[in-house]
Amino acid sequence: MAIEQLGEIVKDIHPYITAIHLREKQKTARELFQTVELLTKNNIPLSKIMINDRADVALVLGARGVQLAFHSLDAASVKENFPQLRIGSSIHSYPEGLKAKEKGADYVLYGHVFQSQSKQGKIPKGLEELKKLSNLDIDVIAIGGITPDNTRQVLQEGANGIAVMSGVLEARDPLVAVKAYSKALNKGGE
């Protein structure tokens, strides 16, 4: 997706979401910086922007934080050196969640929960492991195959929130899609 198109979508949907996660693995630090600049020119607050794997870019921009993967810097090192950043850690199991918590992650991103377009052919992690993660005393954000229809189920199994990519970005009308997710999330808290 072109960055200008992403900027237009995010401009419309950001009032209904708590974070925008930039997961642009192929972009250089400069390209990520320019992407965030474009978003902020569209009035997207830095307090909503999470940068994947690049603590340096997140810090320089004053973004909300950084999302760390298994190949990223250690969460403890990032936390020690950049305490102002919110740190997320991508995980796929309870032991990985426990390790992320011990290393100082502020939350974990767990998935993929259900079959997902972005994980074609890979077996979903499912709800059982998600339920175990709710015992960690750390925020758990579920990702992967999340729809407005299964959002409530994910929340009931212990997720504190959800992350969605294709369900919004590839929707015919992203604003309508994000409103459907928002409605499902609000019903989940009943």
Please give the positions annotated as active site: 112
- Cβ atoms of 89 and 114 within 8 Å: the answer is no
Across the beta sheet with 161-163, the strand order is 20-22, 49-52, 65-68, 86-91, 107-111, 139-143, 161-163
| Tokens 């259900």 found at | 114
CA distances from 79 to 52, 69, 82, 103, 168 (A): 15, 15, 5, 8, 31
Q: Could you give the CA distance from residue 91 to residue 107 in angstroms, rounded to a whole number?
A: 10
d(CA 146, CA 167): 8
In the chain, the N- to C-terminal Cα span, in Å, equals: 36
The span from the CA of 27 to the CA of 25, in Å, is 6
